[in-house]
A and B are shown apart, each in its own frame.
Chain A
Amino acid sequence: MSTVLITVSPEASRQMRPPRALYPRGFKVGNALGRPFMRDLQRRVLFDALALLTGPPRPGEIVEREYPE
């Protein structure tokens, strides 16, 4: 199984050296996918995380992305 992590605690996650990880910059603990009922935003974050599977391997690296509030 291939895995990808969506993290809101990038410093802690970096110590774990995940195979693939996305940090939606500024998202807080408890809101890994963003705010409630923001379907498009949630979907975009989920898609971006999945897209890390088909991109160039960056094991141990936390990829940061900005998302509009």
Chain B
Amino acid sequence: MAPISRRCVPFTPFEGELAGATVALVTAGGVHRRDQPPFNIADELGDLTFRVIAGDVDAAELMVTHHHYDHADADRDINVQFPIERLRELAADRVIAAVASEHVGFMGYTTQLRKMYEETAPAIAEHIDRHARPDVVVLTGG
């Protein structure tokens, strides 16, 4: 596998206007709903799974499971990592057309970079594309 830094930039042009765009969030910050299984922080290899979060989720129902960054602020206000409420405000003000019906959280830390790149990332992209059909995805790290 060629180093990622030597690959072409996977640039997808954006055509149209933001006001016509449906926007989804994908975060590597370990965000998930409280009633979903937490990410497996006991596995030194990391956790390559992801959690689907509905667009109408109550932000208070979200939490973080991630042991490689300080998420104390995200525990108080999930919007610092997963700005779902800010996205809703932009939709209400018609800056964007809509909040996507589904979003994704996963735990970015892993030593299995190849699997993350070749399996998890495409699976997330396929899920989001098929189920939420967003025009735009905003990514945040963890």
- The size of the chain B interface, using a CB distance under 8 A, is 46
Q: Are B4 and A2 in contact (CB under 8 A)?
A: no
| Nearest A residue (CB) for B89 | A43
Given A4-B138, A43-B90, A50-B23, A36 contacting B18 (CB threshold 8 A): no
The main secondary structure of chain A at its interface with chain B is loop
Q: Are B12 and A1 in contact (CB under 8 A)?
A: yes
Contact of A46 among B13, B14, B90, B142 (CB under 8 A): B90
- The size of the chain A interface, using a CB distance under 8 A, is 39
B137 within 8 A of A: yes
Which A residues are in CB contact (< 8 Å) with B125? Answer: 1
With A1-B136, A6-B138, A33-B79 already in contact, 18 other A-B pairs whose C-beta atoms are closer than 8 Å: A1-B125, A2-B137, A15-B4, A17-B5, A19-B9, A19-B10, A29-B70, A30-B69, A30-B72, A31-B80, A31-B81, A33-B81, A34-B80, A36-B80, A43-B89, A50-B23, A53-B136, A59-B9
